[in-house]
Each structure stands twice: as structure tokens, then as C-alpha cells.
Chain A
Amino acid sequence: MAKKRGRGVAAVNYPTGMNLGGDPTQALVHSTPTGGIMVTLSSVDLGQGLRQIIAQICAETMGVPTDAVTIDTADTDTGPHCMGTFASRGTHRVGNAVIQAAQEARQVMLEVAAEELEADPVDLETDGVGNIHVKGASNRNISIFDTALAAHFKHGRSISGRGMFLVPRSYPETETGAMKPSTCYAHACTVAEVEVDDETGEVAVLSIKNVFEIGRALNPKMVEQQLVGGSWMGISHALYETTEPYYPKRDHGGRDYNEYLMPGPGDLAETEIAVLERPSGDGPYGAKGPGEMCANPQIPAVANAIFDAVGVRIDTLPITPERILRALKQREAA
């Protein structure tokens, strides 16, 4: 009886969005009288930080600081349609819609500033901290604050824009399955190192080393939080979770967090993450959606590591101590 170590690898890809069902999102952007930038949506922030990412995308396009952007979302009276926050689509779909809306709003903003500065709009640029100036002549400048006031009270212009992003629905060909399920794919490769106790069947995940290719890390810290959380969920899926441990008997099903098993703080693996960026052709600043993918490669990597450690294959999830022990006994008997 011993604790045996092993390691396993797995590599995956994952589509961004749900093109097989039609996948639209809309956005509106407008300026307040004093140059605050409002983004109006009906998209839902699930706690992953959609508002923050959308604010940064809008700020980049408008040429204003992220702080100047306010996200008003998840209200069907004010926000235009969004398909929803799922299918790894939020950043990609909402982000693209917001870029289009912000480009239109920026154009009006520059036209108003051009009138104020007696310049041509194409000769203007934003400085990213709240001002507009003539390229190469930063002394010929006007603040966005003053530009917005002028638009509202002097020129009668609405600094606003509409954005729409739609990947048209793909209908699979019935006989061949020819279809276009996505326009871009994120990628991952994970190596898991485990220690398996061949007396108890218990598995300790010693380390998880993940590499994710996600198009573009729009906010690296937020990317990290999502990837670390996903990596934990993958381990949880591999080793712990099931709503029906002795199906079709249902009386062992977890009813709360005490009974529904997931890894606790003492079970956390040493987690390492590297991120690669290959910008997607149609992503907002190259982003793809890694939200779902990041919880996938750990599952087979852990399964393969268990085989490497003790030489039995558990091809049914979750890989519980009971299943490992039964497999070890079966091998002994054989």
C-alpha cells in the first residue's frame, strides 16, 4: 500500500458563442452633458466582471479613460437586445457591439470638437485622459467635458452611437454535418500531477499547469481570476461532483454545500497559468471567449495522471475513491 504519483496531459479547443442558434447582441452609447460616457445594454453580469471589460473596451474605442464610462445594463426597458450571457460569448459579442456604437459616438464627438477648434475632424485625436486636440498641435485642444457641453447646448448634436453584432445562424447540412459553429476558437493544454493512495483510492492533485490561448487578455488580472476559477472547477468535476452518486437511487444526492462535494481550501492544487494571445480576426481587440474552455482540460489531464500513477482507467465521471478502489481490486483479481 502506497501513495503513488503520476502525471497526465490533455489539450482542447473551444468555440466562442452559439452560432448554431443565431447570436445577436446590441449596444447603445451616449454622452451626458458633461462628457460622461454611458453604455446601455441588456447583457447580464454573472459576477465574472462583464461591466468592467465592456467599460475598458468602450474607453479604448472612444479614447477616454475607463473611469469615464458607466455601464447601465440588464434592464429590458432601456437596454437593447442581447442573446444572453452564456456560450463564452459575453466579451466577444457585447464587446463588438459596443465598439461599433462607440465608433459612431466618437465620430460625432470629433465633429463637434472640430467645429469648436475650427479644424477638420480627421485631423483630431484623443489623448486618452479626457481631451481632444489637433494632431501634432496639442495646444489646439478642447476637453471632452467642454465638447459634450457644446454638443448639447450649442450645436444640438447627440454624441451617441448604435452597435449591433450578429454572427448569422448556421444550419447544419443534414447528411454531411457541414456547418459553421463558430468564428473563433480558444485553446488550452494542461498537465496535472496527482498522488493516488492505493489503499483508500483518494486522489490529491498536487499541481495543475495550464496554458490557455485566449485571443487577447483585455484585462489580465480578470483573465487570471476566470482561468484560476475554471481550473478549480475542472478538478472538482473530475474528482468530486455529482448530483446523483448512486443513481437511479436519489437519496444520496447532495442537498447543500455540506453534502454536495467540491474541493475545499485544503484540496487546492498548486496552480500555474500561462496565457498566449493569438488575436481572433473578429474579436473585440482580438479577444476570444475562454469562459467555458478553462474548466475542461483539467478533467482528462487528471484522469490520465491517475492512470499514470496506479495503472487503472476510470472512464466514468466523477473519478471517486470508490471507483478507483474497485478498479484496483478488479485488476488484482484478474
Chain B
Amino acid sequence: MKLSKSYFADERDDDLVEVGQSRQRSDIRGHVTGKTAYFGDRTFPGLLHLKMVRSPHHHARIKRIDTSEAEKHPGVARIVTANDVPHNLYTILILIQVGPEDEHVLAVDKVRWKGEAVVAVLADTARAAEEAAAKVKVDYEVLDPVLSIEDALNPGAPIVNEHHGRNYYLYDSGECRKVRFGNVEEGFASADHILEETYQSGPIEHAPLETSGCIVAPEANGRFTCYTNTQAMFFTLDNASIILQMPGHKLHMVGGTVGGGFGGKVDVTIEPIAILAAKLTGRPVSFIYSREEEMQVSSPRAAEKLVIKDGVMNDGRIVARQVTAYIDAGAYSRHSPYGAQKSAAHFPGPYTIPNVSVDSYCVYTNRTPSSAMRGFGVTIGDFALEVQMDKLARKIGMDPLEFRFINAYRDGDMKAHRQLTEGAALIECMQEVSIIADWPVDERFMAMSSRTREN
């Protein structure tokens, strides 16, 4: 790695002692010698293992649940169903007043995605729990699933989630989060060229080495200690407190080093049910996703569809950009309404464009619920924006890097969401890339600065 100190040198003090030094990480020896302790390294006498019975269907009505055979399975301590969960209907962002509650800890009446939790089985060994889970009989009436953004938004589509009553999240701004700046129609009318393109992506998995999980120990004083690898201790505690209808001071979350998060450990799908199980049995409970659950059940990054329409001039200026973004939340909100909002704030990317219009939709389908993941709301948008930039440059016969210099935002420019740009550094990044990648650009671009505009 090269620290390119010549850029912005006058904005930095070089009087720091500890900061700026490549000190060896205090935890690295533990990591590379296998001595770092993770939550799952703890052992408890009498530990119970929780396995989840999951929906095999994308969309189905639950007609009957029969746990009688499972209860008789050797080693089974308890079966937990929806009736056992004090406040079964929840949504994690209710903590920041983003409702409505739309998801059950354990399914009631319906399942809305393939993998949805229906019944929890607790047994002395993981094997016994898994065997007993296979003996839980659930009669389903399979319903038509909604499996794509297009199908979900079709008038007359089956409603995925009755708690929303429509297949998209209703913002205070209406069916989508909107950004309006200038007048895109006037921009398009004045443009030399128009380019409208569609971009799509499939879900991807965080794939952390350590799967999501927790171990809960009931304490003699009536509290519950939850050893967890959540990325957000109080987020988990406060949501567990709501779901369990238990005062927060009864709960004690203990984290530590987490074996990779990438946003995959921000949903609160593990701890509340495990704490409840510990409460119901009076025994310590371990609930740890199998590798297959981590890969196929835990929330992935959302599938997205983006339509970008640009108006561009022959001299390289983009004069209008219209973005319609659809984020496939799957069956439940989790963090997706926030992700769609974040995407609206991100467009039109790091460029100054006088006319911008953005509509970001959070769409419900019978797909695995998506949620937070490294860059969500932005990563797929950047893929779409930057491929679009390449296409625009080629359309007008301009070098793709030079085309970006022409449009790059600078300090003092007004962004589409009406904040003045400050601390910009895109131009300098491109100047440095021009050097290290041996991608020469005209000297007028090498003379540009993010801090000012020429003339």
C-alpha cells in the first residue's frame, strides 16, 4: 500500500504520535494461533440445543401443526411454538420508529418465504433436536408465491405481507422515497443524447467464517446472560426485551470478537427465541446456525433492479439523471426500508448533475428476507451508475476516465438531496489512478482540484 501524502497535505497536522502508526493489532496473535475465544467456545452443564423447523414453501397457509411425535423423541426437552412467544409480531427498526411490526418470531397462520421459522425444538444434543424437528408435522396449503419485483408490483398480485397491505413499503413520501432536484424533463429535452438502461443483481451471502448464533444461560437472580455474536449489542437487547416483554435489565448481552459480520449479524433472529427457550426450560440454550442455514436462511443482500435514464451533452456534461430503484426486501422489512432510503440519498452518485429525479422502492416478495449487508442501498447502485457512466462515455466517444472528471462533484456544489458538497476527493482519486494504472488523461484534468472550480 502506498500512502500518497502529496494530496491535501496542507489539511493535515503531522504532530500525531500514536495515531498514524502501524502498531501491531493487540488481538492478532490470538487470531492467528487459534487462541481467540468466540461465544461458541463456552460450555455449560445441561446445555440444550435449539433447532428450527422451517417452511419448505415460499408461500403457504399453515393448516395444522402436530408436535406430538417430536415431543416423544428421546432427549427432547421442549417444543416452542408461536403461542409461547409473548410479543410474537415484531420488526427490528421499531426502535427508531420505523414500523409497522410485520414479522413473526415463529410463524402464525402463514409462511411467507422458504425457510421461515415455524417451530423451535430443544433437546439434549444437536442430533436429537434435529431428529425431533424432522418429526414435527406441519400441514400446509400452498399459496401462489410472488417471486419477483415485477410480479409484486403488478396490480392484482397476491399480497405478500398483510401487515403492509401492499407489496411495497409505504413511506411518508408515498410508495417510494423520492429525491427531486431541478427538472429532469427539461434536462432530457436539452440533452444531445438520452440513454436508458436497466441493471439487476441477485442476492449474495455475507458468508462469515463464524455462523450466527448465541448461548443463553439463565442466572440464579432471574436474569439471562446471552453470549452472542451480534454486531449491535443494545439493538439486540432492546428488541429481545420487546419480543419477550421482559424489562431490559433482566437481560445481559455479552459479545466479544465476532468471526465476521458484513451486516449479517444485525437482524435479531437468534437471541429472542433462545432467551425464551432458556426461560421456558430453566436450562442454558445454544442456538447456532448451521452452515446451510447461514448460507440459505440468514438474510442475504437484496436482489435489486435499477433503471437509469441519463441526458448527456456532446461535450461530456450530464444534464439530467433519473433513477428508479427497486430493492427486493423479500417477505419482511428487517432493514430494507432503511436500505432503500439510503439508496435514494446516494443517487446520482459522486457527480454534479443539475436535474435529478430518484424513486427508491422497497418491495415485498416471497423471497428470503434481505437485510443489511456491506454497502446495502449503495453497492448495486454503484455497479449500475458506473457501468452507465462507461456506456455514456462511449456513446459520445469520450475516454471514460476523462468523462468522470468533467462531471465529478466539487466542494460547494449542491447535491440532489440538497446538501452542499464538502471534503470531496473524487478528482484526486482519479488523478492518482491515472498515474498508478498508467491511464493518461488530458493535463487539464490533472490540474483540477476538488476544492475549487476553474473560473
Interface residues of A (CB under 8 A from B): 7-15, 18, 20-22, 42-47, 49, 51-52, 55-57, 59-60, 65-66, 73-77, 79, 81-86, 128, 169, 172-182, 184-185, 187-191, 209, 211-213, 216-224, 227-228, 233, 237-238, 241-245, 247-248, 250, 253-257, 259-260, 262, 272-281, 285-286, 291-293, 295-297, 299-301, 303-304, 307, 313, 315-318
A55 to B24, CA, bound (A): 12
Interface size range on B against A: 35 or more
Q: How far is the CB of B274 from chain A (nearest CB, A)?
A: 16
Contact of A303 among B8, B234, B295, B387 (CB under 8 A): B387
Q: Determine whether B202 belongs to the interface, using a CB cutoff of 8 Å to chain A.
A: yes
Which chain A residues lie closer than 8 Å to B126 at the CB level? Answer: none
Q: Determine whether B16 belongs to the interface, using a CB cutoff of 8 Å to chain A.
A: yes
Q: Are B234 and A81 in contact (CB under 8 A)?
A: yes
- Binary interface encoding of chain B residues 1-20 relative to chain A, with 1 for a CB under 8 A from any of its CBs, else 0: 11111011001100011111
Q: Are B233 and A74 in contact (CB under 8 A)?
A: yes
Q: Are B11 and A279 in contact (CB under 8 A)?
A: yes
Q: Determine whether B179 belongs to the interface, using a CB cutoff of 8 Å to chain A.
A: yes
Q: Which residue of A lies closest to B232 (CB)?
A: A84
**Across the A-B interface, how many residue pairs have beta carbons closer than 8 Å?**
401
Which chain A residues lie closer than 8 Å to B174 at the CB level? Answer: 174
A85 to B265, CA, bound (A): 10
Interface residues of B in 342-366 (CB under 8 A from A): 342, 344-346, 349-350, 358
Which chain A residues lie closer than 8 Å to B429 at the CB level? Answer: 11, 187-189, 211-213, 276
Q: Which residue of A lies closest to B439 (CB)?
A: A191
Q: Determine whether B314 belongs to the interface, using a CB cutoff of 8 Å to chain A.
A: no
Which chain B residues lie closer than 8 Å to A22 at the CB level? Answer: 96
The residue in B203, B374, B416 that gathers the most chain A C-beta atoms within 10 A of its C-beta is B374
Q: Are B18 and A128 in contact (CB under 8 A)?
A: yes
Interface residues of B (CB under 8 A from A): 1-5, 7-8, 11-12, 16-27, 31, 58, 93, 96, 98, 114, 145, 147-148, 171-174, 177-181, 197-205, 207, 230-235, 237, 251-263, 266, 291-292, 295-296, 300, 303, 338, 341-342, 344-346, 349-350, 358, 367-368, 372, 374-375, 378-380, 382-387, 389-391, 400-401, 404, 408, 416-419, 422-426, 428-430, 432-433, 436-437, 439, 450
Q: Are B256 and A219 in contact (CB under 8 A)?
A: no
Q: Which residue of B lies closest to A221 (CB)?
A: B22
Q: Are A10 and B386 in contact (CB under 8 A)?
A: yes
Q: Are B17 and A60 in contact (CB under 8 A)?
A: yes
A228 to B428, CA, bound (A): 20
Q: Are A177 and B358 in contact (CB under 8 A)?
A: yes
A13 to B349, CA, bound (A): 7
Q: Which residue of B lies closest to A46 (CB)?
A: B261
A173 to B417, CA, bound (A): 9
A316 to B180, CA, bound (A): 27
Which chain B residues lie closer than 8 Å to A247 at the CB level? Answer: 147, 202, 303, 367
A180 to B429, CA, bound (A): 24
Instruction: Given the known inter-chain contacts A47-B258, A189-B429, A297-B382, please indicate yes or no for A317 contacting B202, CB distance below 8 A.
Output: yes
Q: How far is the CB of B135 from chain A (nearest CB, A)?
A: 22
A307 to B400, CA, bound (A): 13
Q: Which residue of B lies closest to A73 (CB)?
A: B255
A243 to B2, CA, bound (A): 35
